Structure 1
């Protein structure tokens, strides 16, 4: 063991301490105020100077102090998002697109889930606000009143994603879910189906699912095809639950010739159970969904569904908040177009069962 004494080697200069903004300024040949402006208000610094400062930051490994930046700018450059669950491919896909966009604007994404519970959502929103988020993205427009009041009081801008509701005073970016429900139902009507069942997502605190079912029922009613109560089921977004619902529908004394499912995952479960029961899709049973997940085009038969432009919806929500926070006046309501994708899972009903 080496003795420790007055001749012991001293630490290398700078060892044990982090690189600060003064070192960035010295190496870049600018003032600390210029470095601060380049980080907190990039447009106030020329592109050439900004590039030199960022090159210096990359070279020496400087990491800006987020809390200090927040004190100077009163912004944390952090966006919060609350979704019902991350156990859903559509939410995961949308959040990935959102995070990729926000990173290009030097914003951080903080995520929380609410499990379709408004009390939980309120608590999660309070947690996010306490951590200094600048803005908040919320799924749908079913809210706890206390949450709306808190966001107003704290002056936190927010946007409802996944819905388009221009008649409401809260910003919204998404598709017209009622119109999407009507479109998928019309497809089955045009094929000749009148014995149509619905396996919807749980409706509690889910205005998107409610709107889709409302649109479906509008068209079914107009064609004298409203399903009996036993053919209108609600399930979680899980394969097991969807298969159980299909078992109920397809093993009775009579059965539908088509099933409209609340999303693609539910449709997968219905199709799997139909195949297990020896029912041919689409020769004996047509199945449709919503969302157009990646697997939908790879199944055999491939799934007829409504394509939801998920990436665009979430990126537009991020753009809304970034523009709002920069002092702009973004469009308050933005409708994103859905599209009908007809694949192999739908066909006219069997001749002896046509309506």
Structure 2
């Protein structure tokens, strides 16, 4: 290997410029040799062979450099940055970068995002610990009993089977998915993950999945989705607007609403579309006609329906932002001896079982669960093949008219 000492070179009659050039070339050839991972071309032997004459040494080194194309250290086109180098760029410790790469906890979301961006900017590829993929797609849900979850499981299983895959269902114990939940997922190394979770995809969960390059599709995300996370959703605003227009078309003017969770973007959009339809028609929506329900449990919506039905000037129609709330409204109407649909029209959202089997059968906004599942499964398959299409898909909805919505009695108009 090259020596760092030049004491043996002849000092006589050597210009400062030549010494400087020699040092520069020596450093260059040394760096090139290290980058290639080989010995540095017998630099020391070359020097001894030429008797230490610096002019001849410089000429030899120049000729050798001109014949080789070894990259310099600052050539980022082929040089893969190491963890320590990435840490210096980010201004954090190497252990912090390692935590981000491996999806571990112990750092703030802001630091994680900063390091993730640097990894992305420098084209850093995470190493795969287990390259053997499981022939499964993981479906993460918050509630098995939740609106539409069983529909999604049914159709996701069907479309996965068509692709030679299977669906594995993970329930997050009625709350946000924990780190342990996602560590279990990456240990199973599925083809991808479909999430129908009210808690959304946390920064930590996203980092864990990215650490193993596992593609993720979020169904009806509750908030703005990052550009690098795929999603499939319905047009919730238009769906709410369709519901309002349907009840207005029947002649209803005293229309109440049982909203979904106030913190979810999906329920906010449905409510916004519904109120837009009423405003467009010049129909007031008094505060007493606005009730806060929930997607689960049903008791919250039942209590909301009871309050609406006990009003002196009770509504002639109620729009429920999910079908389970509509079922709770049926129960409240029966207990208050209000006949459906003669005295009260009820409209749901989702069009899930048992909407068509209720008495009267429930009018509902139909969610295309089969197409949602098909798109989600296909997006994962395409992502694995490197055929990335649309990152965010929004699907239309439609109103399925059944027996629960009729024109109001003439006395109620």
1:136 aligns with 2:201: no
Q: Match of 2:370, SS?
A: helix
Q: Match of 1:235, SS?
A: coil
Count residues in correspondence.
Answer: 283
Paired residues of 2:147 and 2:350 also in contact (CA < 8 A): no
Paired residues of 1:235 and 1:245 also in contact (CA < 8 A): no
1:333 aligns with 2:392: yes
Structure-2 change in CA distance of 1:238 and 1:108 (3 Å): same
Structure-2 change in CA distance of 1:122 and 1:182 (3 Å): farther
Aligned partner of 2:377 in structure 1 is: 318
Q: Distance in 2 between matches of 1:72 and 1:144?
A: 23
1:76 aligns with 2:76: no
Paired residues of 1:261 and 1:287 also in contact (CA < 8 A): yes
1:247-306 deviation per Cα after TM superposition (whole angstroms, max 9, x unaligned): 111123231111111211211120222123121222221110011123222222211111
List aligned pairs for 1:50-89, cutoff 5 A: 74-88=132-146
Aligned partner of 1:216 in structure 2 is: 274
1:292 aligns with 2:347: no
* Offset, 1:245: 2.1
Aligned partner of 1:156 in structure 2 is: 214
Q: Distance in 2 between matches of 1:296 and 1:334?
A: 26
Q: Which of residues 246, 264, 287 in structure 2 aligns to 1:228? A: 287
Unaligned runs of 5+ in 2: 1-127
* Offset, 1:246: 1.6
Q: Match of 1:259, SS?
A: strand
1:44-88 deviation per Cα after TM superposition (whole angstroms, max 9, x unaligned): xxxxxxxxxxxxxxxxxxxxxxxxxx9895322332121121113
Q: Which of residues 168, 171, 175 in structure 1 aligns to 2:230? A: 171
- Using the size of structure 1 for normalisation, the TM-score is 0.71
* Offset, 1:115: 5.6
Q: Which of residues 304, 320, 329 in structure 2 aligns to 1:245? A: 304
Instruction: Give 1 or 2 for the bigger CA radius of gyration.
Output: 2
Q: Which of residues 143, 150, 154 in structure 2 aligns to 1:96? A: 154
Q: Match of 1:117, SS?
A: coil
Aligned partner of 2:74 in structure 1 is: none
Structure-2 change in CA distance of 1:343 and 1:166 (3 Å): same
Q: Match of 1:294, SS?
A: coil
Paired residues of 2:255 and 2:318 also in contact (CA < 8 A): yes
Q: Distance in 1 between matches of 2:240 and 2:191?
A: 35
Q: Distance in 2 between matches of 1:166 and 1:242?
A: 27
Q: Distance in 1 between matches of 2:286 and 2:183?
A: 42
Structure-2 change in CA distance of 1:341 and 1:291 (3 Å): same
Q: Distance in 2 between matches of 1:109 and 1:71?
A: 23
> What is the Cα-based RMSD across aligned positions, in Å?
2.8
* Offset, 1:183: 0.6
Q: Distance in 2 between matches of 1:282 and 1:196?
A: 14
Unaligned runs of 5+ in 1: 1-69
* Offset, 1:308: 1.2
Paired residues of 1:235 and 1:242 also in contact (CA < 8 A): yes
1:105 aligns with 2:197: no
1:72-120 deviation per Cα after TM superposition (whole angstroms, max 9, x unaligned): 95322332121121113521121122123223333232222236633x3
Structure-2 change in CA distance of 1:102 and 1:200 (3 Å): same
- Using the size of structure 2 for normalisation, the TM-score is 0.61
* Offset, 1:122: 5.1
Q: Match of 2:168, SS?
A: strand
My pick for the range that moved more, 319-328 or 237-246, is 237-246
Aligned partner of 2:408 in structure 1 is: 349
